[in-house]
Chain A
Amino acid sequence: MRKKHHLLDHKWQKIGFVIFAVCVLLCIVCFKAITYDLIPQTQPKIEYKRTEVQKKNGDIIISNEPINAPIGSGWASALVLLFTPISFALMALSQEKLEDERIVEIRHQALVTIVIIYIVWSLLMFLSSPFLVRFVTPTTFGKINMILKIPTGVTAFMGYYLLIFKLSLWKQNRELSDEE
């Protein structure tokens, strides 16, 4: 009896890793090139207005400030943004070289762990919002809210899942490799 795993072949994991490595390399090269003015920054910018509501001495002040924000960091960041989720998906959804039942169990544990973390994080976000609105300024609240929202999203989910799974697998393999 053979259990069917709905996972890609191991070679896709290698392909995913190569894509991710290229993305990281591209980030470093572009960052260095921009830092040392090797390539001109030809980022297109978009102008939009940010509406801020502030309370000063009992008066409500509404300000509309124009902001020049870069649309992106050029073709490199567009490629990284496109290929990072693809590489994460390939690595997360492909099986190990020898995918046995112990590895499947580690995979399940990693998935359960990340789902629990996400539920706790979402609850924290939901519960902290009214509390923060009451005690902190809108700007600080915005910053805190932004920090709380960072780990959400499919790419981050796959990234954390991969991190937990690979670390657990590495830790367990190291513990079990001593004996012969």
Chain B
Amino acid sequence: MKNNLRVERARVRMTQQDLADKTGVTRQTIVAIEQGKFNPSTVLALKMARVFGVTIEALFELEDTD
């Protein structure tokens, strides 16, 4: 699953720690999601989308291999 988390974070000038604090996870979890090593749950994805004020589809997109 591809994600635009890093792009969105850069857009609103937010650090990984800020995003982690706002979504109630650890910074390492944010890094893992950004690197595509961990797929977040629907709840966490929705929380992230809310933080950036975008839809889930704008943050995450399915790849052909998924």
| Partner-B contacts on A (CB < 8 A) | 1, 3, 98, 100-103, 105, 172-173, 176-177, 179-180
Please tell me which one of the listed residues A3, A105, A180 contacts residue B15 in the complex, with CB atoms under 8 A apart: A180
Residue in A closest to B6 when the chains form the complex, CB atoms: A179
- Give the number of residues in B that approach A within 8 Å (Cβ atoms): 18
Residues on the B chain within 8 Å of A172, using CB = 28, 32
A176-B31, A177-B31, A180-B15 are contacts. A102–B43 as well, Cβ < 8 Å? no
Q: A98-B25, A98-B26, A103-B29 are in contact. List 9 more A-B contacts (CB 8 A).
A: A1-B43, A100-B24, A100-B29, A101-B25, A102-B26, A173-B28, A177-B27, A179-B16, A179-B31
Q: Once A and B bind, how many residue pairs between them come within 8 Å at the CB atom?
A: 40
| Partner-A contacts on B (CB < 8 A) | 15-16, 24-29, 31-32, 34-35, 37-38, 40-41, 43-44
> What are 30 A-to-B residue pairs whose CB atoms are below 8 Å?
A3-B43, A98-B24, A98-B25, A98-B26, A100-B24, A100-B25, A100-B29, A101-B25, A101-B40, A101-B41, A101-B44, A102-B25, A102-B26, A102-B28, A102-B29, A102-B32, A102-B38, A103-B26, A105-B38, A172-B28, A173-B28, A176-B28, A176-B31, A176-B35, A176-B37, A177-B27, A179-B31, A179-B34, A179-B35, A180-B16
